[in-house]
Structure 1
């Protein structure tokens, strides 16, 4: 065989083998990630949700998924978008804080504070942009920050005090993000809604108002499906709908049963910093030399468990955090932590152990790459990241997730964790290989 024939065959084989995975040979897929804050895994069970039911038939439904410790908005959302445990990405609370200066910044005021979010772990927006894709964030926590000086291509940041439950505005937000896909060629967009978290806090997870907001979410998802079809995005847009944590009823017991930590230890004397009046999770920095005394005192308080970083369960994935104070307090399900006196008025809350079923969250997905009418076994939310990398066809940053955890929900074969997908050889490739071998044997 001549060198010319040999080179021609090699070129044809390479071209054929590369075609299935090449961006130029196929229309690029798009991905929309939607998060409904505080949507507990079972919230659709006591409400008529025809659009979510239809979505499950047309796509994938996980039985439930488990958020990271902490079961709070900012830490959980950042785990989803980075694929890293909280101890790695260091967004360890909803509040931005500095334990040395006693600075405390409320959640919505942190959304543009890059010094809180940018800790060396890249979120998916920046990773995708580094590989040539266009990305956007609409209200998603972390989307308004910069990472190593790089901003998300387009970010709309939620303003403090803005109502979260305006259904007309919800639909307008859907129209906006879908126009970014259909008219401006965006590849990844993340969209956040602040409900049903607000209703769950104010009214409790069993209240009729919570059920009403679930019906509103269902109508919104029906509007989303119709809008996708109107824009001709059905064959190109994958959609993941998820949450960040669940919600539980706060036990309104007589005052003697409430947890007021100052009854068990003198916070002014023994602690130099604390965030305690914040649901089921609290953090403290003891004064120098007083850690053992603080832990011993807290161990006498009812309805809670106290941990130091040295004895924290490995499953928490928190112990390696440099930012987290040395003492962590987790209340029993439904009990809120109070520091010096009772200030808590919520009827529902989160921040409790992520093993509790009330803290579990939803996962739904549909689109060209997802199977239909498929029920997935439960998995940890950290595994959403490599799934999203696969759907976008990009290489993920180092992460704690695994594509193996979600592979069964995909229509086609998959690659390794967080990497590009792989395809089986095409019939043309197989034929060329056969011809090539036959020629070599002549």
Structure 2
């Protein structure tokens, strides 16, 4: 029977999983982490030893492209659902109703199911329906119900700025869900470096300080994973929702005040136009062309009729978006009526702009080592996560062919994991005869 052990090792390697896990039929787990507003190049001008090590021990993309819109809620829900914004309909950070003029800020939307639950199932619910245990810590969209179903474990985002100690405590909590309660999927969200990017601008020294803090946090995460003996079973994906750019202000540029080009009161019944680089308008009946023509004369922006969106936007089918959408040129904030705008950095601009690109790292037992991927769209993260979790995805717009090359298991190998596990069990039994 001397041939059995080499054969077992060979089959385990072919399956791409540790021998003990292949034989037992266990599946690896996944921790998805988002650092809000982490631009693709933020680690280029700061020493980040832990992120560098993450890249050597796992995979990294040169950058990834968020969906249109390059905003927190729409982008996060595309990542967790694999659907374009026009399909999942979370079209803004604010919850709004153009008919009633309701406008709710981002924080208040986080527990409003009617804003998020539009018939698209996020990964938490799809995984739970296939027997997995899931949790969400601060992650946008995690604290509501989908068709009456809630995520197994939820902690709603605390809007107050957190310190390094609290970040470590959050990591301890999330990892305990894996180590003590056998969770399969957990999503973890951090509100930085978005806050500092808005308040100080992406080029400010405080942004660099924040990236150093994030790097130390990743170091603490990796140390904790090893201490809890999760290294062989837990995959970690680290990503973000959008980038950040410096807002152009007077006296360098003339601020975009759209009320100078059209009478908002007379021509519009609803608008959100003081929110970074993206704005929406509902013209009064019969005034759509007048609004379009007036805004077309304004500098440093592009105005679109919703039904004439470029196909690459993947927004035209949205029932929730108003008829007129405005996208400012990079760095020009959309201001409607001389509203005081204090942000020194912002997003919401065209997702083709490099300042809107963001990050992707991944490490764990299912990922290659020291692998640099070409850029890809964030929508393709969803089928990758389903592959790692070994679940059947819900309908989605991503493609596994884009991200499968990041895995140790790709092509046909993964399909035989269960069969190999059964064969290993049989051979182990024979070895005892």
What's 2:121 paired with? 122
Q: Aligned partners of 2:108 and 2:377: how far apart in 1?
A: 28
Residues 328/23 of structure 1: CA separation in 2 closer, same or farther (3 Å cut): farther
- 1:245-264 → structure 2 map (5 Å cutoff): 245-254=242-251, 257-264=254-261
Verify: 1:181 aligned to 2:178, yes or no.
yes
Residues 217/256 of structure 1: CA separation in 2 closer, same or farther (3 Å cut): closer
User: Bigger CA drift: 342-351 or 44-53?
Assistant: 342-351
Contact 2:22/2:420 (CA < 8 Å) preserved in 1?
Answer: no
What's 1:62 paired with? 61
What's 2:284 paired with? 287
What's the CA shift for 1:345?
A: 1.1
Contact 2:70/2:347 (CA < 8 Å) preserved in 1?
Answer: yes
Q: How many aligned residue pairs are there?
A: 407
Q: Aligned partners of 2:321 and 2:204: how far apart in 1?
A: 35
- CA offsets per residue over residues 97-125 of structure 1, 9 Å max, x none? 00000000000111000000000000000
Residues 156/349 of structure 1: CA separation in 2 closer, same or farther (3 Å cut): same
Q: Aligned partners of 2:252 and 2:260: how far apart in 1?
A: 12
Q: Aligned partners of 2:422 and 2:117: how far apart in 1?
A: 47
Contact 1:136/1:154 (CA < 8 Å) preserved in 2?
Answer: yes
Q: Aligned partners of 2:390 and 2:174: how far apart in 1?
A: 21
What's the CA shift for 1:265?
A: 0.2
Residues 427/232 of structure 1: CA separation in 2 closer, same or farther (3 Å cut): closer
Aligned-residue CA RMSD (Å): 2.0
Q: Aligned partners of 2:406 and 2:109: how far apart in 1?
A: 35
SS of match in other structure, 2:40: coil
Residues 364/292 of structure 1: CA separation in 2 closer, same or farther (3 Å cut): same
* Runs of at least 4 residues off by over 6 Å: 19-24
What's the CA shift for 1:252?
A: 1.4
In structure 1, stretches of 5+ residues that fail to align are: 1-15, 433-442
- CA offsets per residue over residues 139-164 of structure 1, 9 Å max, x none? 0000000000000000000134x12x
Q: 2:189 aligns with which of 192, 195, 201?
A: 192
Q: 1:270 aligns with which of 264, 267, 270?
A: 267
Q: Aligned partners of 1:414 and 1:139: how far apart in 2?
A: 35
Residues 428/385 of structure 1: CA separation in 2 closer, same or farther (3 Å cut): closer
What's 2:148 paired with? 149
Q: 1:341 aligns with which of 338, 343, 357?
A: 338
SS of match in other structure, 2:176: helix
What's the CA shift for 1:311?
A: 1.4
What's 2:240 paired with? 243
What's 1:53 paired with? 52
What's 1:422 paired with? 415
Pair member with larger Rg: 1
Q: Aligned partners of 1:174 and 1:427: how far apart in 2?
A: 32
- CA offsets per residue over residues 49-94 of structure 1, 9 Å max, x none? 0000000000001000000000000000000000000000000000
Q: Aligned partners of 2:266 and 2:145: how far apart in 1?
A: 39
SS of match in other structure, 2:308: coil
What's 1:384 paired with? 381
Q: Aligned partners of 2:172 and 2:82: how far apart in 1?
A: 28
Contact 2:245/2:345 (CA < 8 Å) preserved in 1?
Answer: yes
Contact 1:283/1:325 (CA < 8 Å) preserved in 2?
Answer: yes
Residues 177/414 of structure 1: CA separation in 2 closer, same or farther (3 Å cut): farther
Q: Aligned partners of 2:55 and 2:158: how far apart in 1?
A: 33
Contact 2:327/2:350 (CA < 8 Å) preserved in 1?
Answer: yes
Q: Aligned partners of 1:428 and 1:348: how far apart in 2?
A: 55
Q: Aligned partners of 1:126 and 1:111: how far apart in 2?
A: 17
Contact 2:23/2:422 (CA < 8 Å) preserved in 1?
Answer: no
SS of match in other structure, 2:416: coil
Verify: 1:362 aligned to 2:359, yes or no.
yes
Contact 2:276/2:346 (CA < 8 Å) preserved in 1?
Answer: yes
Residues 392/236 of structure 1: CA separation in 2 closer, same or farther (3 Å cut): same
What's 2:225 paired with? 228
